[in-house]
Structure 1
Amino acid sequence: MNCPVCGGDCIENAPTLLARLPHAFAPCPDCMGLVYDKRSPPPDIDTAGPCPSCGKRFIDEVFAQIYRVMAAEGDLAGTEPLAAAATPLVHPGFAMRSAPHLPPRSLVLLSRSVGERAAARLVAEVPEVRGVVRTGAGTPGITDTDAAPQAYTLLAGCDVRADIFPTRAGPIVVYKQQSVLHVEFPRDQNEKILSLEREIGQHRPRTFVDACSGAGTLALAAVRAGIPRVIANDAWYAAAFWTTCNLRVNREVLGIGEVTMHRSCDDLRRRPVARDPVLVATVTGAQEIEVYQGDLRLLPAVLPPEIDLAALDLFEKADAGKVGRITGAWQARVGGAIFIP
């Protein structure tokens, strides 16, 4: 499928992407690169270019060039530590044992400091940079359907990237547009997926609802675990779209049927926050999957009877009163087991 941000071929299917992982960021025998102190400005020496043999470059060399472009454009004074330039998000992201050697267009940058001129130069001059995002207060997405949505600003390039998450049944690939969805750093073990797998082992559900799906990580893990019916929902348009996209991306590894999309990304973007649930996508076959966009408090109206298990991954977990009200209302209307990952 074409990328909804840049129209390019940014989105690969899961088998293709997973096949590249063993050597995605590994150096070749000819690769070199200095390790810089991240707590200090980069030293006043020329940065190395990409390896002439494999085209990769050590991340510290890449960041030194990024730092100098931002300093030249006045976004940095030149006295800040190297780490202050930006937060690097590699594509694809997965648990790594060592610092990566980056191939072209494998890095999305998140930065509070970067301006438009520097962002344009970074995409044009630093071959490893695929997109530059200026961050702000808050986290992309919504905390409630009554709250104003938050988003960062894509200044240049494309900020679509993928993370790889392990599950007991095998890995899943989760794409997202990073300016409109929160960051999830892949680890050797994902605590939310582990909590889902514990609940599956305890309850043996035939139906599972991921009521606050984000980009679809838990819903995908539930499908990969073989639950016969999985329903994903989120009130934020980007979450509903990328959950659907990720079902398509993982279709072969999940072993599911065709993914039918009932709402386009443009349709969803026109109503960024939904209250009444709208059906976004369906999958039929041995496993049935539905994706909705809507307020989780109104979702029971469209759910089938006898929901066995539901994940309520609320943004405001620290608000015990709100969590109690939502889980209590869900229990009264839907029933079944509930867990908060």
Structure 2
Amino acid sequence: MHCPVCGHDCVTDARTLLAELPERFAPCPDCMGLVYDKRSPPPDIGTAEPCPACGKRFIDEVFAGIYRIMAAEGDLAGTEPLAAVGMPLVHPGVPMRRAPYLPPRSLVLLSRSVGERAAARLLAEVPEVRGVVRTDAGTPGVRDTDAAPQTYTLLAGCDVRADVFPTRSGPVVVYKQQSVLHVEFPRDRNEKILSLEREIARRRPRTFVDACSGAGTLGLAAGRAGVPRVIYNDAWYAAAYWTACNLRANREALGIEEVTILRSYENLRQNPVAQDPVLVATAAGAREAAVYQGDLRLLAAVLPPEVDLAALDLFEKADAGKIEGITRAWQARVGGAIFIP
């Protein structure tokens, strides 16, 4: 699938990506790697090269190389701990019980400290680096349709990557551009997915609405669980677009024959936070799906009359008054059961 960020084939179908997982981050018999103390600067020794047999390198060795380039460019003083480099996001993200050996172009670096010169060098000189993103305070996305959106800055490469989330019916693959969507760490046990599966088992919905879909994780899990029709919605353009892409990537497991994406990434970006719902994509087959970009409080205008279950995974769950108001309005306009994961 054409990548809207770099133009390459960064998005593959779920079956292809999952088939590569068992050996993706495993060392070969010739691999060697040193474990470094993340609370101290890396030791003053040469950076190990990738394994000549398989091309992978232990993540601590990769981070030591990144640290040295950032120090040489003045982004680090050289006295900070190795962990000061930033946050490593591997592609694809999967639950791990041991530190990975990284193949080429498998790491997106999120860092508050990295500058443009170092980012360019990291992409050119560290083969495992896929993209470099400079972060700041806040979380990418939008908290409400009347609030200013938050994004990070892609400095080099491509920051499109996937996470693999386990469900009882099998895994779902969730692609996203990491500078514009929040981080989700896949774990063996995902409480949001488990709560969704309990609700589906209890209510057996025919139509499920993921009203704050993000990149589509809960809706995809609902489709995996056998819900015949899933409707996704998010006010943020990147969430709506990547949800559409994730429907296409997972279509075989979802029982979907065809996904039609009606809006391009560039088109959606021109109106990054939508009010009135806009149809972004449709999917047909043994199961059906639709993706909207819009304010969930206006979504009733485009919903079918028989919505059985909706998830309201709001950004700010601590605001009890806001959640109560939105929930009450949803029940009055849409009906059906509601749960907050």
Question: Does the TM-score normalized on the shorter chain lie above 0.5?
Answer: yes
Correspondences of 1:257-272 after superposition (within 5 Å): 257-272=257-272
The answer for unaligned runs of 5 or more in structure 1 is: none
Secondary structure of residue in 2 paired with 1:297: helix
1:46 matched to which residue of 2?
46
For residues 338 and 272 of structure 1, the distance between their equivalents in structure 2, rounded to whole angstroms, comes to 27
Q: Report how far residue 254 of structure 1 moved.
A: 1.7
2:238 matched to which residue of 1?
238
Tell me which amino acid in the other structure corresponds to 1:294.
G
For residues 206 and 251 of structure 1, the distance between their equivalents in structure 2, rounded to whole angstroms, comes to 18
1:99 matched to which residue of 2?
99
The answer for unaligned runs of 5 or more in structure 2 is: none
Tell me which amino acid in the other structure corresponds to 1:46.
G
Which contiguous aligned blocks of 4+ residues in structure 1 show a shift greater than 4 angstroms? none
The alignment covers a number of residue pairs equal to 341
Deviations 1:235-288 (A, max 9, x none): 000000000000011111222120011111111111100000001111123211
Secondary structure of residue in 2 paired with 1:131: strand
For residues 77 and 71 of structure 2, the distance between their equivalents in structure 1, rounded to whole angstroms, comes to 6
TM-score normalised by L of structure 1: 0.99
For residues 254 and 28 of structure 1, the distance between their equivalents in structure 2, rounded to whole angstroms, comes to 34
1:177 matched to which residue of 2?
177
Tell me which amino acid in the other structure corresponds to 2:100.
P
Deviations 1:173-212 (A, max 9, x none): 0000000000000000111110100000111100100000
Q: Report how far residue 306 of structure 1 moved.
A: 1.9
Identity percentage over the alignment?
Answer: 82
Q: Are the equivalent residues in 1 in contact too, given 2:210–2:310 (CA < 8 A)?
A: yes
Q: Report how far residue 45 of structure 1 moved.
A: 0.4
Secondary structure of residue in 1 paired with 2:257: coil
For residues 295 and 108 of structure 2, the distance between their equivalents in structure 1, rounded to whole angstroms, comes to 31
2:196 matched to which residue of 1?
196
Correspondences of 1:101-250 after superposition (within 5 Å): 101-250=101-250
Q: Which moved more, 1:263-272 or 1:178-187?
A: 263-272
1:60 matched to which residue of 2?
60
For residues 242 and 169 of structure 1, the distance between their equivalents in structure 2, rounded to whole angstroms, comes to 22
Q: Report how far residue 137 of structure 1 moved.
A: 1.2
Tell me which amino acid in the other structure corresponds to 1:270.
Q
TM-score normalised by L of structure 2: 0.99
Q: Report how far residue 169 of structure 1 moved.
A: 0.7
Q: Are the equivalent residues in 1 in contact too, given 2:255–2:285 (CA < 8 A)?
A: no
Tell me which amino acid in the other structure corresponds to 1:252.
E
1:290 matched to which residue of 2?
290
2:14 matched to which residue of 1?
14
Tell me which amino acid in the other structure corresponds to 1:19.
A
Deviations 1:105-144 (A, max 9, x none): 0000000000000000000000000000000111000000
1:251 matched to which residue of 2?
251
